[in-house]
Amino acid sequence: MTRDLHLNAVRPRAAQASRAALDSSAELASFTALTSTASLASSATPTSSTALASSAHESVRDAAATDRPTVWLVGAGPGDPDLLTLRAARALADADVVLCDDLVDRRVLELVRDGARVLHVGKRGGRASTDQAFIHRVMIREARRGQRVVRLKGGDPFVFGRGGEERDALQAAGIAVEVVPGLTSGIAAPAAIGISVTDRRHAAGVAFVTGHARKGGPGPDWQVLARSGLTLVIYMGVAHCGAIARQLQDAGLAATTAAAIIENGTRPDQRVVRTTLGKMARAIAATGIGSPAIMVIGDVARAADAAIRVTRSA
Ligand code: SAH
């Protein structure tokens, strides 16, 4: 039986704030009480006989064999478990502890071995989420205890995933970091409906930007982006689509510019809206499209075809 636990659900914000004041033994006891055992193993275990898979496997084992505490920052891909890398699958099969983000598809966790602990430390806009410093502390502590720790993140760990912050915190604590890149949703979700984010006939390149800037931090320069001629791939933008569309148009991007929004890209519940920049906000409101969604703005979005699916192996 799987008893995955959601740290974000059981730890409201006030509790997180006071958490920093706890001494480390109390924190560890509390953390231990919140751990769970993964029991969904074997059936979805990936091919182990190929040379590629076994070399990836070795790399995980090798790092552990050095005895240096190590954390693997692993990209879980956009959703469909078939889009996971072999190395990610191996890291999951080898892990003792998996700290898992909200966006990770449940089916990916079937690769975690029986007996390993899965901690849900998700972050979702508008909901109570696990304190980032707490995640750092748990990773550091478990790695120092000799546990093989996997930090599992949706898409790629270094694309809007705080992977850089986690790498810095781990390295500052003397923990070795292994990165397993993943397929980012900004490429995979458009591809799932036939959009090639670069296409030399339409765009000289692509800009991956956040639609939800950090409080007090710099947001994307929409004026510059509007004039750039690049395909715009916007993460975390649906809640702010009206303001984004307005700023891009104010900066000169035509209202007729093609736009596509992909919700739950590559998952069975994927939904797509094909529209234009001028109509985008109304279209999103009318369909109720919400997070997680990728917005693609630019001529390449004209190719959007909901009938195209990424190839599945089964
Ligand atoms: N590291 C992740 C991005 C995390 S930021 C990656 O590389 O994909 C979270 C945002 O990613 C969401 O708000 C949404 O914009 C996007 N996202 C993640 N998975 C998605 C999916 N399956 N379909 C559409 N958008 C997705």
Fold equal for 5-183 and 186-303: no
Residue 67's pLDDT is: 77
pTM summary value: 0.81
Please give the residue that has the higher pLDDT: either 130 or 202: 202
Per annotation, catalytic residue among 123, 199, 279, 299? 123
Name the 3-class secondary structure at 124. coil
Domain ranges of the chain: 5-183, 186-303
Q: What are the start-end ranges of the H helices in the chain?
A: 7-10, 13-19, 24-33, 51-65, 86-94, 132-144, 163-172, 185-192, 222-228, 241-250, 280-287
Whole-number Å distance, alpha carbon 59 to ligand 1 midpoint, is 27
Of 130-134, 223-227, 242-246, the one with minimum mean pLDDT is 130-134
The mean pLDDT of the chain is 82
Residue 217's pLDDT is: 74
Residue 312's pLDDT is: 52
Q: Is 236 a catalytic residue?
A: yes
Residue to substitute in 185, 208, 212, 272 for testing ligand 1 pocket (most ligand atoms within 8 angstroms of CB): 185
Residue 119 amino acid letter: L
Whole-number Å distance, alpha carbon 238 to ligand 1 midpoint, is 11
* Mean pLDDT within 50-61: 49
Q: Is 105 a catalytic residue?
A: no
What is the Cα 117 distance to its own chain's centre?
A: 20
Cα distance between residue 74 and residue 151, in whole Å: 6
* Structure tokens that stand for 277 in this block: 């920049």
Residue 14's pLDDT is: 31
Is the link from the previous residue into 181 a cis peptide, with omega within 30 of 0? no
Query: If you take atom 11 of ligand 1, which residue's CA is the nearest one?
Result: 235
Whole-number Å distance, alpha carbon 26 to ligand 1 midpoint, is 34
Exposed/middle/buried for residue 68 (C-beta within 10 Å: 0-12, 13-18, 19+): exposed
Residues with CB under 6 A from ligand 1: 78-79, 103, 153-156, 159-161, 184-185, 189, 235-236, 262, 264-267, 291-294
Residue to substitute in 235, 273, 289, 291 for testing ligand 1 pocket (most ligand atoms within 8 angstroms of CB): 235
Residue 219's pLDDT is: 86
Structure confidence by residue, pLDDT tens digits, 277-296 = 999 999 999 999 999 999 99
Residue to substitute in 294, 296, 309, 310 for testing ligand 1 pocket (most ligand atoms within 8 angstroms of CB): 294
Residue 213's pLDDT is: 75
Query: If you take atom 25 of ligand 1, which residue's CA is the nearest one?
Result: 293
The number of beta carbons lying within 10 Å of the beta carbon of residue 188 is: 22
Please state, in angstroms and as integers, the Cα–Cα distance from residue 153 to each residue in 62, 149, 259, following that order. 22, 13, 27
pLDDT band at 137 (very low <50, low <70, confident <90, very high): very high
Q: Does residue 95 carry a pLDDT above 90?
A: yes
Q: Does residue 256 carry a pLDDT above 60?
A: yes
* Sign of the dihedral through C-alpha 141, 144, 149, 155: positive
* Sign of the dihedral through C-alpha 154, 158, 160, 166: positive
Residues in the chain: 314
Residue 32's pLDDT is: 40
CATH 3.40.1010.10 is the classification of domain 5-183? yes
Per annotation, catalytic residue among 4, 80, 96, 101? 101
Residue 308's pLDDT is: 63
Cα distance between residue 21 and residue 30, in whole Å: 13
Q: Does residue 4 carry a pLDDT above 50?
A: no
Q: Taking Cα atoms as reference points, which of 148, 166, 149 lies closest to residue 157?
A: 166
Residue 192's pLDDT is: 94
Structure confidence by residue, pLDDT tens digits, 184-238 = 999 999 999 999 999 999 999 999 999 987 777 778 999 999 999 999 999 999 9
Whole-number Å distance, alpha carbon 237 to ligand 1 midpoint, is 10
* Structure tokens that stand for 168 in this block: 């810095």
The CATH number assigned to the domain with range 186-303 reads: 3.30.950.10
Whole-number Å distance, alpha carbon 78 to ligand 1 midpoint, is 7
Question: What is the phi/psi pair of residue 232, to 5°?
Answer: -105, 120
Residue 101's pLDDT is: 94
Of 79-93, 126-140, 300-314, the one with minimum mean pLDDT is 300-314
Q: Does residue 299 carry a pLDDT above 70?
A: yes
Please give the residue that has the higher pLDDT: either 202 or 124: 202
Whole-number Å distance, alpha carbon 62 to ligand 1 midpoint, is 31
Q: Is 139 a catalytic residue?
A: no
